[in-house]
Homo-oligomer: A and B are copies of this chain.
């Protein structure tokens, strides 16, 4: 039976997520629901795109991903359904699919908006019915019209070279206070060291326990991005750094630096 994942900024205290669940289970009995998250900060499309980008491809082909962080609900922004690598994704055209669209050929349809859809709750009245239909095997192209433009993508910073350094930035902070950067393994060779402002963090380590409890530790994260953590603590708090904060990779050999 098809899986439908749910990703929203609705939180878990109100009825909104349950209304999605009810609509999907009513229209597609037997579907398997799986939350991605509902704790995206209200309207934070960038964080939603990051989390979706990490999670969606872990599910089996055929999965339908309902992704609704939608501050522009009720405006003319398009409601989309996508097919990518055998998965389906449903959500607003506001950049939430930025990481899905990277290097992935997609087919995109603009969903019809029923006349009686609540102007403030397309999650329930537009996207959930579309997700249920796809889970039921309804063909993508019957849900609307082919999308002929370019879907929204969030501008994403790329690391830049500056003398003997590469400058990356923090793109996400997780619940542990770990700083996820836009740096990848190829920008951080084994001899390179990392710095945040004037603080040297040393070379990439393998895991948290390679440093003492309470120490900062840079490492290659489980999704291929360079991350900075504090062992048993929060790097975000320690460094006072958030999304957009700069991380420097020094490619010259640093000696005697603490």
User: Measuring CB to CB, which residues of chain A are less than 8 angstroms from any residue of chain B?
Assistant: 1, 3, 5, 10-19, 21-23, 25-26, 29-30, 32-40, 42-43, 50-52, 54-60, 63, 71-75, 118-121, 124-125, 174-176, 206-210, 219, 221-222, 227, 231-232
Contacts and interface: CB of A to CB of B under 8 A. Distances in A.
A92 to B, nearest CB: 12
Contact of A175 (B13, B56, B119, B120): B13
Give 10 closest A-B pairs by Cβ, nearest first.
Answer: A74-B207, A22-B58, A118-B222, A121-B222, A11-B175, A15-B54, A13-B39, A18-B55, A119-B207, A22-B59
Nearest to A123: B222
A26 B56 CA distance: 12
B221 A120 contact: yes
A228 to B, nearest CB: 12
Contacts of A54: 15, 18-19
Stoichiometry, copies per complex: 3
A3 B32 CA distance: 11
Nearest to A207: B74
A127 to B, nearest CB: 13
A94 to B, nearest CB: 12
- From A118, A120, A175, A210, name the one whose CB has the most chain B CB atoms within 10 angstroms: A120
A219 B33 contact: no
B14 A37 contact: yes
B58 A37 contact: no
Contact of A74 (B14, B33, B51, B206): B206
Contact of A208 (B120, B221, B231): B120
A20 to B, nearest CB: 8
